[in-house]
Amino acid sequence: MELLKKVILERSTVQDSNVLRVGCFLNHQIDPYLMKEIGHEFARRFEGKGITKILTIESSGIAPALFTGYILGVPVVFAKKCISNNLDGDLYDACVYSYTKARDYMICVSSEVLSQDDKILIIDDFLANGRAVLGLNELLGKAGAELVGVGIVIEKGFQYGGQLLRDSGFNVQSLAIIESMSQDKIVFKNQEE
């Protein structure tokens, strides 16, 4: 997605050769116009798949997921990162390792918002080692829901998550795949769009 790549080149910074800071447009300050364009692009890539619901994880996945849900006309569910006393009823949960925080955490979704009739599109801001997607997919398995595809805003193509998920048969669509990055240069993988 050319607009996204342009914004990454202009507004992100690389730290320690594997952390891409996108806090000024994606995961701290959010550019709503860019989110809408991202939503249109995900909707284009997954239209006609019968998707009934978007699933993401709080917090950075919510913005791209929300516009995708708006454009596809389906609800958005965000998995919560710990057991909260204001979730309704029974929960589906899974354990996820966070690359940026270097620790495990639990994610959970209320059984009231996922059913075995759902066809799910997972949306997330980053794909690095794939653990978040695998955790979300584990929740879907517990609910009996079907995973239709995975939409990622920025994939770190130099980490193994993308290959792991694609080799496992997931339909992963990443809007920008970074092949390599340093403080001087970000190189994107050429993608057919």
Residues near a copy of itself, by CB under 8 A: 13, 19, 21, 23-25, 27-33, 35-36, 53, 58-59, 62-63, 66-67, 69-70, 73-78, 80, 84-88, 100-101, 109-110, 112-113
14 or 191: CB nearest a copy of itself: 14
Shortest reach from residue 167's CB to a copy of itself, in Å? 28
The Cα 42–Cα 134 span in angstroms is 20
Query: Distance between CA atoms of 118 and 2, rounded to whole angstroms?
Result: 32
- The nearer residue to a copy of itself, 81 or 191, going by C-beta atoms, is 81
The distance of closest approach from Cβ of residue 131 to a copy of itself in the complex, given in angstroms and rounded to an integer, is 16
CB atoms inside a 10 Å sphere around CB 184: 6
> Element (H or E) spanning 155, and its range?
strand 146-156
- Shortest separation between residue 114's beta carbon and a copy of itself, angstroms: 9
Which lies closer to a copy of itself via its Cβ, residue 85 or residue 190?
85
Angle at 9 between CA 42 and CA 41, to 5 degrees: 10
- Integer Cα distance of 46 and 27 in angstroms: 23
**Residue 62 φ then ψ, to 5°:** -65, -45
The Cα 136–Cα 27 span in angstroms is 19
Instruction: Find the shortest distance in angstroms from Cβ 117 to a copy of itself.
Output: 15
Q: Could you tell me the sign of the dihedral formed by the alpha carbons of 155, 157, 160, 163, in that order?
A: positive
Residue nearer to a copy of itself on the CB measure, 59 or 163: 59
Least spacing, CB of residue 166 vs a copy of itself, in Å: 25
- Cβ-based nearer residue to a copy of itself, 35 or 150: 35
User: In whole angstroms, how close is the CB of 192 to a copy of itself at the nearest point?
Assistant: 29
Instruction: Report which of 62, 49, 56 is spatially closest to residue 136, judged by C-alpha positions.
Output: 56
Cβ distance to a copy of itself smaller for residue 8 or 169:
8
